[in-house]
């Protein structure tokens, strides 16, 4: 057993305490005061366990964010770990309870478990005297669950200085597979304008915006391609005013998911430049790619292979998987920095009432992160 895993196994109770503390500090994305409170606890834990420099990034609308720097190594080619402390849960919506080795609670898996194993990974690197020739940056944001509008900039700025990005977001399945692929996402708003009129009197001279929208929806669906991993969902439509009036306006919200950066341009082009099916109507589309896919590149495969090796030395089999959902890892992968996601604890039920973490495997997941950090910090 590695010194790091041994150290973490001996401290499993303390690791669990950290997770309890962070989970009890409920932090719904929209309640700044509570996210700030959770941030204070995170900072306390970092200072108590790890030490090193702490930069607080004050935010007005969302919770304050933190950039923790560990080690005295080079900034050039730094190692970046990103996480978020906000959750999708309103206060009190989900009780915190422990059943055997499983801890249930709001955000425990997504992703206070990931924050916990990162704190303890750094602690273990420190306590075992691991040599690191590059700086480690642990960046914790506060609005991932609501689109990362207030953190995208700093994530990209830090990623640009980094050689690799680790994302301890929730893992997949009972054995905690890591995510080597995440879809990218784009959102569009379509506005159709027609010519209104009386449904009876002007039956043949109006131009129905709703009818045009119906054509558009079916045509948009043709852009989806299951083999290539491109999906198109029209999730919201509205339009018209009365049953006996030819609709002057209609709207649709379109969500597109892609798996390869190379697909972005073509699909964006096709959605923004629409053919028109009904004379007299006008179609306008606004929107753009929101997050590039987290792509399973050669560098990501290599990262995965190395993680698999570390896991195997600990007696675990580590699988890889893909996720349809996006994370902040999509941003870093989008600018070409090798990024691996799903490094969080074993557990299940993110965003559901079954959300939980397996406490007995926290040392293993923390050691996995610590050892891959150590490896890349000395490359
Ligand atoms: Zn998350």
**356: pLDDT strictly greater than 90:** yes
Structure tokens at 71: 């080690």
**333: pLDDT strictly greater than 90:** yes
Separation in Å, CA 210 to CA 182, 199, 232, 369: 34, 13, 19, 52
- Say whether both 250 and 371 belong to one domain: no
- Say whether both 170 and 27 belong to one domain: yes
Which of 291, 306, 325 is at the close of a domain? 291
Q: Give the separation between CA 117 and CA 173, rounded to whole angstroms.
A: 18
- Say whether both 282 and 317 belong to one domain: no
For residue 207, the cross-strand partners are 195
Which of 291, 320, 353 is at the close of a domain? 291
pLDDT confidence of 172, banded at 50, 70, 90?
Answer: very high
Find the 29 Cα to ligand 1 centroid distance in Å. 11
- Say whether both 199 and 266 belong to one domain: yes
- Say whether both 62 and 165 belong to one domain: yes
Residue 326, pLDDT score: 86
**73: pLDDT strictly greater than 90:** no
Residue 282, pLDDT score: 98
Find the 232 Cα to ligand 1 centroid distance in Å. 23
Which of 256, 291, 326 is at the close of a domain? 291
- Say whether both 161 and 46 belong to one domain: yes
- Say whether both 363 and 250 belong to one domain: no
> Which domain CATH number covers 212?
3.30.70.360
Residue 204's domain spans which residues?
A: 184-291
- Say whether both 14 and 141 belong to one domain: yes
Find the 7 Cα to ligand 1 centroid distance in Å. 27
- Say whether both 308 and 282 belong to one domain: no
Find the 114 Cα to ligand 1 centroid distance in Å. 9
Find the 351 Cα to ligand 1 centroid distance in Å. 9
* Mean pLDDT, residues 15-23 taken together: 98
> Which domain CATH number covers 17?
3.40.630.10
User: Considering only CA atoms, which of 118, 123, 115 is closest in space to residue 21?
Assistant: 115
**72: pLDDT strictly greater than 90:** no
Here the contacts of 145-150 (C-beta below 8 Å, separation 24 or greater) are 145/29, 145/84, 145/86, 145/87, 145/88, 146/29, 146/30, 146/62, 146/86, 147/290, 148/84, 148/328, 148/331, 150/59, 150/61, 150/62, 150/65
Our count of domains for the chain comes to: 2
- Respond yes or no on whether the N-terminal peptide bond of residue 345 is cis (omega within 30° of 0): no
Residue 335, pLDDT score: 94
Mean pLDDT of the chain: 96
pLDDT confidence of 325, banded at 50, 70, 90?
Answer: confident
- Say whether both 59 and 175 belong to one domain: yes
- Say whether both 246 and 283 belong to one domain: yes
- Say whether both 151 and 299 belong to one domain: yes
Residue 75, pLDDT score: 79
Find the 266 Cα to ligand 1 centroid distance in Å. 29
Q: What are the residue numbers of the active site?
A: 86, 144
């Amino acid at each position: 057993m590695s010194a790091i895993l041994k150290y973490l196994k001996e401290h499993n109770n303390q690791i669990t305490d950290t997770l309890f503390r962070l989970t009890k500090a409920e932090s719904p994305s929209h309640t700044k005061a509570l996210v700030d409170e959770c941030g204070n606890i995170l900072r306390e834990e970092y200072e108590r366990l790890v030490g090193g420099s702490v930069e607080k990034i004050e935010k007005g609308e969302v919770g304050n964010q933190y950039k923790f720097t560990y080690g005295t190594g080079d900034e050039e080619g730094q190692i970046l770990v990103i996480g978020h402390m906000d959750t999708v849960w309103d206060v009190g919506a989900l009780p915190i309870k422990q059943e055997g080795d499983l801890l249930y609670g709001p955000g425990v898996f997504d992703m206070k478990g990931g924050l916990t194993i990162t704190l303890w990974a750094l602690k273990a690197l420190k306590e075992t005297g691991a040599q690191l020739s590059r700086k480690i940056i642990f960046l914790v944001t506060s609005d991932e669950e609501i689109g990362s509008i207030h953190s995208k900039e700093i994530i990209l700025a830090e990623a640009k200085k980094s050689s690799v990005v680790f994302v301890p977001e929730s893992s997949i399945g009972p054995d905690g597979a890591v995510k080597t692929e995440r879809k990218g996402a784009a959102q569009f708003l379509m506005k159709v304008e027609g010519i209104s009129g009386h449904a009876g009197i002007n039956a043949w001279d109006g131009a129905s915006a709703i009818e045009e929208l119906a054509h558009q929806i079916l045509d948009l669906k043709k852009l989806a391609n299951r083999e290539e991993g491109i999906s198109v969902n029209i999730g919201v439509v509205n339009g018209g005013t009365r049953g006996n009036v030819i609709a002057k306006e209609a709207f649709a919200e379109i969500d597109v998911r892609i798996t390869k950066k190379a697909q972005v341009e073509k699909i964006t082009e096709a959605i923004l430049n629409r053919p028109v099916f009904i004379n007299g109507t006008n179609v306008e589309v606004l929107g753009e790619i929101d997050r590039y896919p987290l792509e399973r590149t050669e560098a990501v495969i290599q990262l995965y292979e190395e993680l698999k090796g570390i896991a195997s030395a600990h007696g675990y089999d580590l699988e890889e998987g893909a996720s349809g959902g996006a994370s902040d890892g999509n941003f870093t992968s989008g600018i070409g920095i090798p990024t691996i996601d799903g490094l969080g604890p074993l557990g299940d039920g993110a965003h559901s009432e079954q959300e939980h973490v397996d406490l007995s495997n926290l040392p293993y997941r923390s050691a996995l992160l610590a050892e891959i950090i150590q490896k890349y910090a000395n490359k």
